[in-house]
Chains A and B, each alone.
Chain A
Amino acid sequence: MSVIGHLQMDNIGKSFAGVPALKGVHFDIRGGEIHALLGANGAGKSTLMKILSGAYTADSGQIIIDGKPVRVQSPLDAKSYGIHCIYQEVDTALVPGLTVAENIMMDKLATGRVKGLVRWGKLFKEAEAVLARLGAQIPVRKTVEELSLAEKQLVLIARLLTEQARFVIFDEPTAPLSLEEAERLFRVMEQLKRDGIGSVFISHRLPEVFELCDRITVMRDGENVLNAQADRTDMDQVIRAMLGKTLEEEYVKHEAAIGSIVLEAKDVRRGHHVRGVSLDVKSGEIVAVVGLVGAGKTELSRLLFGADKLDHGTVKVHSRSVPLKNPADAVENGIVLVPEERRKQGILVEESVQRNLSLPLLRGLSRLGFIQFRQESELAVNVISRLGIKTASPLLPTMLLSGGNQQKVSIGKWVETKADVYLFDEPTKGVDIGAKTDIFRIIGELAGQGKAIVYFTCEFAEALGIADRIIVMYDGQLVKQFARGEATQEQLLYYASGGKEKR
């Protein structure tokens, strides 16, 4: 392919509306290595990578490739230097109705390097060859919409090989993947490494970082604070660098008095994602529903909240049947959901923090239909301080907050409602460790107030740390239940991957 490359980002600075996001960051990628870029949310990782991929332009500093300073001012510039990015939202880069082969060869088709008529046979063969080089087995004649998310990622990776990529940024590619899928992605990334491509790997899962990466750079508050060979450092040191202090205890379990049954779901069904789930949750109890991606957790949480229609089954709160025609019914009956996709579903990103926090409470805050602004702002100030939401002002648009603080807003809008049942769907997804601790604290406090809590997650460690009871979900059904202290990560994984009860 190409000569072993070296890309340096030198003294990069960038401010947004006067607030510095990057303060003179140094970062480099060598061909044939996988370089982990770590940091809490808001540390500046994504800003740095957006500058590298041409989405933003740096205020100061320069990018040097193979010793020559270059200007990267658009994604197109970046591509011309061989810099590519695999974003988390793979669907935005693919055309769903076209075949795998067309999607892989899109660049060639689009730039007119294919002269005259398209020779389909040749196109399919070339696409197959690229996939084979990655060790991926995907039928090239299938349309992309039929693929799983993991397969779509592979199609994108295959595409960038056809575009002479030299440096590839992987922005949290494993977050939505199951363990096997992540393993398969790692094999592909190692193949890229053997081909001399330099990769940047962004992830919140430290074990996989140490398994995969050659070098680790940690950012904090817009500066790089650690750069080390992966085998010369360890998880403790990295976590310390990320937080700026030692992590005392990630999971602090609040002991809450467990009372009578609050939420009662019976034989809940929808399609083949949720196939007959029954579940009781008591007041003050935290029940974790764990499972791999695709087990039906998100679907179940949406059903219990009325976001999708039940095919069958009943849901009761305090033994009263709840009509679940839409989420407003659930909210009125004391069930609330903190959804997985916070930016799309949990908050209104363009609205202010205050308006998001007051949203479910507007009825109580208005007189004759008119919103009482004084009370609204008191409510917002109160919730912001209680949950420790870091925002310059309650009137700031929520999109300007970091991921963890956005998540707190998504939770915070419910805490002043009289809800009895809280459903959390992957509340720590893409959230840094500091905010994670805050979120666990908030959930613990809610349990302490006697709320019934269902915590849907694929992070087994979190479930073990926080839950009074853990229920494993597999293929649309609840397959195994553990009391607190009974389960280990290995056992959870065993049942979550479809393992049967041992006799």
Chain B
Amino acid sequence: MKTRVLEWLFKYGALLVIGLIILFLSIMNKNFFTYGNLTDILRSISIVTFVAIGVTFSLTVDGFDLSVGSTVSLSTVVAAALMVWYNQPLWIVITVPIVLGAVIGLLNSFLIVKVRIPDLLATLAMMYIISGVHRTFTKGYTIYNNMQLTDGTTAPGKFTESFLWFGQGRWLGVPVPVILMVLTVIAVHLFFKYTRWGRQMHFIGGNEEAARLSGVRVKRIRVAAYVASGVFAAIGGILLASRIGTGQIDAGAPYLMEAVAAVFVGYSVFAAGKPNVIGTFFGAILIGVLVNGMTMMKFQYYVNDIIKGSVLVLALAVTFVHLSRRRS
């Protein structure tokens, strides 16, 4: 009986905690449980969820991508620059950052798969390089509408309405980024559960040597995972630009840790014990609800990180206690 309850808690504990926090905040503040506020929370987590989906890919193949934060920054300023400095059409504004994300993924996987630098170190180095590249590119300036260029003229273009729609618009009353996020979570979940590539990624994460000796082309699939990681980070960057309407340097940096936290909180959802995209989504929700609630309860802003860190510790503790129990 006792073990049954424990098993149940390991499986649904994370969801229970989310539910309890929502219940608590709803009682404490009547503005919390309103349609406006709930969609606000979802909108606020949409960018981090995209980045976290990327991190889920790299962790699934037993890797780690530290460069996602600076990829977000790069993608943000490139999208902004394409509109404001170069006055490019929408499809180019969206395609170029995504291609850049893919290229970063290829570079990462080249270092990891070919040169055989450990994942953490290779992507750490790439993080620095990309971060330097995007600052060099903007010369340290924030890119915004009607900004003055170094030659004294005013920038030729500006953030277009159609671009801003992705980050700020609504469709049938639902914020567009929320729709994009939910569709992507579902698509990626289907990818991992039902496709050959998704399953092979899981196999590599489970036991790379056994997968290789079963004829899985391990290198190719690791490359794909890192490309996916870069692409999803780039999408996060595009959404960030369209949400804030400017191209700020280093705006993506905080998303690395937020995304990693969401993925690891996700380990505990349904007692998966490994990266899984549904868990990642709920991890992002948990963090979003906490931040929103703390703001409403007028906590000092800097307390947020303490709470987020504690939630992460709790989720990891639950996950690893459970894993070691299961092994014994």
A-side residues, CB < 8 A to B, are 55-56, 305, 307, 326-328, 330-332, 336-337, 339, 344-351, 355, 359-360, 362-363, 365-366, 369-371, 413
For B199, B200, B214, B328, the residue with the greatest tally of chain A CB atoms inside 10 Å of its CB is B214
B213 touches A351 (CB 8 A): no
Question: Contact check: which of B194, B195, B202, B212 meets A326 at CB < 8 Å?
Answer: B212
Interface string of B199-215 (1 = CB under 8 A from A): 11011001101111111
Question: Contact check: which of A328, A345, A360 meets B209 at CB < 8 Å?
Answer: A345
- Chain A's closest residue to B215 (CB) is A331
B217 within 8 A of A: yes
B210 touches A344 (CB 8 A): yes
B207 touches A413 (CB 8 A): no
User: Which chain B residues border A363 with CB–CB below 8 Å?
Assistant: 196
- Chain A's closest residue to B202 (CB) is A351
Give residues 175-231 of B contacting A (CB, 8 Å): 194-197, 199-200, 202-203, 206-207, 209-219
10 extra A-B contacts, CB within 8 A, seeds A328-B212, A350-B206, A366-B196 = A307-B212, A327-B214, A344-B210, A346-B210, A346-B213, A348-B207, A348-B211, A360-B215, A371-B194, A413-B214
User: Which chain A residues border B217 with CB–CB below 8 Å?
Assistant: 326, 328
How many angstroms between the C-alpha atoms of A137 and B217 in the bound complex? 46
Question: Contact check: which of B199, B206, B207 meets A362 at CB < 8 Å?
Answer: B199
How many angstroms between the C-alpha atoms of A307 and B196 in the bound complex? 22
A307 touches B213 (CB 8 A): yes
A366 touches B195 (CB 8 A): yes
B207 touches A328 (CB 8 A): no
How many angstroms between the C-alpha atoms of A370 and B190 in the bound complex? 9
How many angstroms between the C-alpha atoms of A427 and B184 in the bound complex? 45
* Min distance, Cβ B206 to any Cβ of chain A, angstroms: 5
User: Which chain A residues border B202 with CB–CB below 8 Å?
Assistant: 351
* Min distance, Cβ B197 to any Cβ of chain A, angstroms: 6
B-side residues, CB < 8 A to A, are 194-197, 199-200, 202-203, 206-207, 209-219, 328
User: Which chain B residues border A346 with CB–CB below 8 Å?
Assistant: 210, 213
How many angstroms between the C-alpha atoms of A337 and B213 in the bound complex? 8
A369 touches B213 (CB 8 A): no
Question: Contact check: which of A327, A337, A369 meets B195 at CB < 8 Å?
Answer: A369
* Min distance, Cβ A380 to any Cβ of chain B, angstroms: 14
- Chain B's closest residue to A360 (CB) is B215
- 25 residue pairs from A and B, CB less than 8 Å apart: A305-B213, A326-B219, A327-B212, A327-B213, A327-B214, A328-B217, A331-B214, A331-B215, A332-B215, A339-B213, A344-B210, A348-B203, A348-B210, A351-B203, A355-B199, A359-B214, A359-B215, A360-B214, A360-B215, A362-B200, A363-B196, A369-B197, A371-B194, A371-B196, A371-B199
A370 touches B195 (CB 8 A): yes
A369-B196, A369-B197 given as contacts; is B213 within 8 A of A359 (CB)?
no
A345 touches B206 (CB 8 A): no
User: Which chain A residues border B195 with CB–CB below 8 Å?
Assistant: 366, 369-371
User: Which chain A residues border B216 with CB–CB below 8 Å?
Assistant: 328, 359
B214 touches A349 (CB 8 A): no
For A337, A346, A360, A370, the residue with the greatest tally of chain B CB atoms inside 10 Å of its CB is A370
How many angstroms between the C-alpha atoms of A59 and B43 in the bound complex? 52
How many angstroms between the C-alpha atoms of A31 and B199 in the bound complex? 53
The interface residues of chain B, by DSSP majority, are classed as helix
* Min distance, Cβ A367 to any Cβ of chain B, angstroms: 10
A369-B196, A371-B199 given as contacts; is B212 within 8 A of A347 (CB)?
no
* Min distance, Cβ A78 to any Cβ of chain B, angstroms: 15
- Chain B's closest residue to A362 (CB) is B196
* Min distance, Cβ B105 to any Cβ of chain A, angstroms: 19
How many angstroms between the C-alpha atoms of A332 and B197 in the bound complex? 17
User: Which chain A residues border B197 with CB–CB below 8 Å?
Assistant: 369
How many angstroms between the C-alpha atoms of A80 and B21 in the bound complex? 47
| 7 nearest A-B residue pairs (beta carbon) | A331-B215, A362-B196, A366-B196, A328-B217, A369-B195, A328-B215, A359-B214
* Min distance, Cβ A44 to any Cβ of chain B, angstroms: 18
A344 touches B214 (CB 8 A): no
User: Which chain B residues border A347 with CB–CB below 8 Å?
Assistant: 210
How many angstroms between the C-alpha atoms of A362 and B212 in the bound complex? 14
B209 touches A344 (CB 8 A): yes
A344 touches B207 (CB 8 A): yes
A370 touches B194 (CB 8 A): yes
* Min distance, Cβ B180 to any Cβ of chain A, angstroms: 22
How many angstroms between the C-alpha atoms of A370 and B213 in the bound complex? 23
How many angstroms between the C-alpha atoms of A347 and B211 in the bound complex? 8
- Chain A's closest residue to B212 (CB) is A327
User: Which chain B residues border A328 with CB–CB below 8 Å?
Assistant: 212, 215-217
- Chain B's closest residue to A346 (CB) is B210
User: Which chain B residues border A331 with CB–CB below 8 Å?
Assistant: 214-215
A351 touches B215 (CB 8 A): no
User: Which chain A residues border B196 with CB–CB below 8 Å?
Assistant: 362-363, 365-366, 369-371
How many angstroms between the C-alpha atoms of A337 and B217 in the bound complex? 16
* Min distance, Cβ B199 to any Cβ of chain A, angstroms: 7
For B209, B210, B217, the residue with the greatest tally of chain A CB atoms inside 10 Å of its CB is B210
How many angstroms between the C-alpha atoms of A363 and B214 in the bound complex? 13
How many angstroms between the C-alpha atoms of A365 and B200 in the bound complex? 13
User: Which chain A residues border B203 with CB–CB below 8 Å?
Assistant: 348, 351, 359
How many angstroms between the C-alpha atoms of A351 and B217 in the bound complex? 18
User: Which chain A residues border B207 with CB–CB below 8 Å?
Assistant: 344, 348-350
User: Which chain B residues border A345 with CB–CB below 8 Å?
Assistant: 209-210, 213
For B196, B199, B202, the residue with the greatest tally of chain A CB atoms inside 10 Å of its CB is B196
* Min distance, Cβ A21 to any Cβ of chain B, angstroms: 14
How many angstroms between the C-alpha atoms of A370 and B194 in the bound complex? 6
How many angstroms between the C-alpha atoms of A332 and B199 in the bound complex? 19
* Min distance, Cβ B201 to any Cβ of chain A, angstroms: 12
How many angstroms between the C-alpha atoms of A132 and B194 in the bound complex? 61
How many angstroms between the C-alpha atoms of A348 and B202 in the bound complex? 10
- Chain A's closest residue to B203 (CB) is A348
How many angstroms between the C-alpha atoms of A359 and B211 in the bound complex? 8
How many angstroms between the C-alpha atoms of A327 and B199 in the bound complex? 18
User: Which chain B residues border A362 with CB–CB below 8 Å?
Assistant: 196, 199-200
- Chain A's closest residue to B197 (CB) is A369
How many angstroms between the C-alpha atoms of A371 and B194 in the bound complex? 6
* Min distance, Cβ A420 to any Cβ of chain B, angstroms: 15
- Chain B's closest residue to A417 (CB) is B215
How many angstroms between the C-alpha atoms of A56 and B328 in the bound complex? 7
- Chain A's closest residue to B216 (CB) is A328
User: Which chain B residues border A337 with CB–CB below 8 Å?
Assistant: 213
* Min distance, Cβ B202 to any Cβ of chain A, angstroms: 8
For B196, B215, B219, the residue with the greatest tally of chain A CB atoms inside 10 Å of its CB is B215
User: Which chain A residues border B210 with CB–CB below 8 Å?
Assistant: 344-348
How many angstroms between the C-alpha atoms of A332 and B215 in the bound complex? 8
How many angstroms between the C-alpha atoms of A316 and B68 in the bound complex? 45
- Chain B's closest residue to A339 (CB) is B213
How many angstroms between the C-alpha atoms of A359 and B219 in the bound complex? 17
User: Which chain A residues border B328 with CB–CB below 8 Å?
Assistant: 55-56
